[in-house]
Amino acid sequence: MTSDHACLPLCRAEAVARGWDEVDVVLVSGDAYVDHPSFGTALIGRFLESKGLRVGIIAQPDWRSPADFAEYGKPRLFCGITAGAMDSMVSNYTTAGKRRKYDSYAPGGKFGLRPDRAVIVYANRLRELFGSSVPIIAGGIEASLRRLAHYDFWDHKVRRSILFDARIDLLVYGFGERALSEIVRRALAGGYGNYFDNIPGTATVAAESPPEALILPSYEAVSESQDAFNEAFRMADGENNPICGKVLAQAHGNRWAVVQSPAKPLSSAEMDQVYSLPFTRQAHPAYEEAGGVPALSEVLFSITAHRGCLGNCSFCTLAAHQGRVIQPRTDESIIREATSFTKDPRFKGIIHDVGGPSANFHEPACAEQESRGPCKNRTCMFPEPCRHLNRSQAGFTALLRRLRDIPGVRHVFVRSGIRHDMAVLEENREFLKQLTEHHVSGQLKVAPEHVDNRVLRLMGKPPFEVYLDFADEFSQLSQAAGKKQYLVPYFISGHPGADLNAAIKMAEFIKGQGRFFEQVQDFIPLPMTRSACQWYTGKDPFTGEEVYVPSDPKEKAMHRALMQFQAPENWKLVKEALEISGRKDLIGAGPHCLISEKQPGVRHKRKVVSGGRKSPARHE
């Protein structure tokens, strides 16, 4: 058993046991503290520790009073806050607005340990406690995506930048290592002064807009005009470039939200350093009595091979948060991490996952990205792969081969998701062959997202025929390898552009597959995404095309029910949807029918595919 001191301090007593009379930095998180590189608080905490700082963690404090926030007293440098791995509203509520009952990032999965709008709540508690004597810095997905005026699904209105509601001194967006390095350097040089100014990857409140800034439509303008809202998104999206992106400024009354250009991507050597920090890969021992932290089991012996995603799907927040530039680790660093697993008594010889946001987007997109960043007017994969794109999967294939050759490693699986449109390319046949022969644990997750090509176009995804080609290829290769393996397709219900006919089309496909999906991903319009613009304005922000929005709660429920049409409790909604759409031909006893004419009285046994997303990971 690892001692308490192997983890960063979770309380004042643990800090005192280290001989500390104060801490330099306090990190407040909406998640339980798990000392693993897949958990942001641990990643940042260990990174700051590597800079020589004394870091104390306050995990899931009781926000109803300031007492828990005073655990370490006033830190010497600053307080950092994060809602956790997910936006707190996504963590706390379903798309239908119902409170969730389980939190995989809490001890024992206990729900209710994080507040709604956690960044705002935590920041205001710290401000109440310390006033302006300690800088407050917010980071993580919730703060990152709300750095400008944004549409909020739960309030159904445009909210101002979180900089103003949280009253924070600085917002660090995306991965924070490079920005924090500069913040710490300036802080240790002495005096608070203006040491938060002009740091890439950050946002602040200013009395005036910088002269070099690109001026976005104001908060007031985007609140009143949906066209102005789309214009602001379009302008900001075009500058999401770490090489040549401009500073952004957006007026909020007589003050400005000023967003610096994104931080430069980490080099492979820098990535190696971050992921070689001394993580225990354990939840803090304080959680043992509660049974640990469930989220750890999914990633315990998984490896982050890279950051970033060049897919840029319309509904996904990864482009706004992690960026479109792939930041890979070196193979040697990954091999060292995998080899270290074999010395852990908990390791059973299985590496559960190797990858990133999309596992096979492992190499930088093209040489031109290094000098000018991602292209402004097109994406790498949509509407078809760019002619300059590095399509080869040979490097990732070779890495997987080396990993499975490590003594003590029995299996190396890829579970973080495969981009099927990349894997199905002719030049990647060897990758797909190796994948099916060695790296699938019975089921492979892929994300076609929908079956209707009109909806897929709005999603920024390839036509459904590309998925069908991939499915055929995967089936043939699995059969040739003598393996019984299945695809687990992820679908999103209720995305802009999807009417009931599109939802029925998806239900017919699911019926044809002979499967039932226990979990369904309902569309949530998250800030700083193209799909959120489509949802809120009814128009695509780039083309101006009018988009159908299934925003009525009853219709959204029908979309969801159609994806789980076999469930007896969904019979009424499915029947109503089919009748409204003139598809009574799908009601009856025929092999093509979705439901019977009479409502089932009991829940029938069915073939279950545990294929739903465990969390809206690609929305974060």
At 532 the three-state DSSP class reads: helix
DSSP 176-223: -HHHHHHHHHHHHTS--TTTTTT-TTEEEEESS--TTPEEEPPHHHHH
pLDDT number for residue 194: 65
pLDDT number for residue 192: 58
d(CA 508, CA 282): 44
Average pLDDT over residues 166-171: 97
Residues with Cβ < 8 Å from 167, sequence gap 6 or more?
Answer: 123, 124, 127, 136
CA angle 363, 361, 302 (to 5 degrees): 100
Determine which of 62-76, 154-168, 464-478, 597-611 has the lowest per-residue pLDDT on average: 597-611
CA-CA distances (angstroms) from residue 138 to 204, 512, 563?
Answer: 11, 47, 38
pLDDT tens track for 262-274: 999 999 999 999 9
Determine which of 201-205, 240-244, 266-270, 609-613 has the lowest per-residue pLDDT on average: 609-613
Q: Is residue 146 one of the residues assigned to a domain?
A: yes
Among residues 239, 259, 279, the one where a domain terminates is: 259
Q: By the 8 A CB rule, do 143 and 162 touch?
A: yes
Residue 518 is part of which domain span? 485-620
Kind and range of the H or E run holding 151: strand 150-152
- CATH code assigned at 80: 3.40.50.280
d(CA 543, CA 549): 16
pLDDT number for residue 517: 76
Q: What are phi and psi of 282, to 5 degrees?
A: -135, 155
CA dihedral 206, 212, 214, 216 (to 10 degrees): 30
User: pLDDT at residue 620 above 70?
Assistant: no
User: pLDDT at residue 576 above 60?
Assistant: yes
pLDDT number for residue 520: 81
At 227 the three-state DSSP class reads: helix
Percent share of the chain, pLDDT over 90: 89
Percent share of the chain, pLDDT over 70: 95
Q: By the 8 A CB rule, do 75 and 129 touch?
A: no
Average pLDDT over residues 207-230: 98
Buried b (16+ CB within 10 A) or exposed e, 281-314: bbbbbbbeeeebbbbbeebbbbbbbbbbbbbbbb
Confidence of residue 616 (pLDDT cuts 50, 70, 90): very low
- CA atoms within a 13 Å half-sphere pointing along the CA-CB vector of 289: 1
User: pLDDT at residue 206 above 50?
Assistant: yes
d(CA 380, CA 390): 10
Confidence of residue 602 (pLDDT cuts 50, 70, 90): low
Q: What are phi and psi of 587, to 5 degrees?
A: -110, 120
Among residues 226, 242, 259, the one where a domain terminates is: 259
Q: Is residue 605 one of the residues assigned to a domain?
A: yes
Among residues 242, 259, 276, the one where a domain terminates is: 259
Higher local confidence (pLDDT), 619 or 395: 395
pLDDT number for residue 613: 42
Average pLDDT over residues 590-614: 68
Q: Is residue 338 one of the residues assigned to a domain?
A: no
d(CA 316, CA 320): 8
Average pLDDT over residues 358-378: 90
pLDDT number for residue 416: 72
Structure-block tokens of residue 241: 């470039």
Confidence of residue 4 (pLDDT cuts 50, 70, 90): very low
pLDDT number for residue 607: 46
pLDDT number for residue 426: 87
Tokens 């990758």 belong to 431
pLDDT tens track for 372-425: 999 988 899 999 999 999 999 999 999 999 999 999 999 999 987 799 999 999
pLDDT number for residue 193: 59
pLDDT tens track for 29-83: 999 999 999 999 999 999 999 999 999 999 999 999 999 999 999 999 999 999 9
Average pLDDT over residues 530-547: 98
Higher local confidence (pLDDT), 615 or 325: 325
Beta-carbon count within 10 A of 429 CB: 14
pLDDT number for residue 601: 77
Q: Is residue 113 one of the residues assigned to a domain?
A: yes
pLDDT number for residue 617: 36
pLDDT number for residue 603: 55
Higher local confidence (pLDDT), 254 or 2: 254
Q: What are phi and psi of 523, to 5 degrees?
A: -65, 135
CA angle 169, 170, 173 (to 5 degrees): 160
Q: By the 8 A CB rule, do 508 and 594 touch?
A: yes
Q: Is residue 51 one of the residues assigned to a domain?
A: yes
User: pLDDT at residue 610 above 50?
Assistant: no
Tell me: cis bond preceding 383? Omega within 30 of 0 counts: yes
pLDDT tens track for 457-491: 999 999 999 999 999 999 999 999 999 999 989 99
Tokens 């598809």 belong to 583
Confidence of residue 178 (pLDDT cuts 50, 70, 90): very high
Count structural domains, the chain: 2
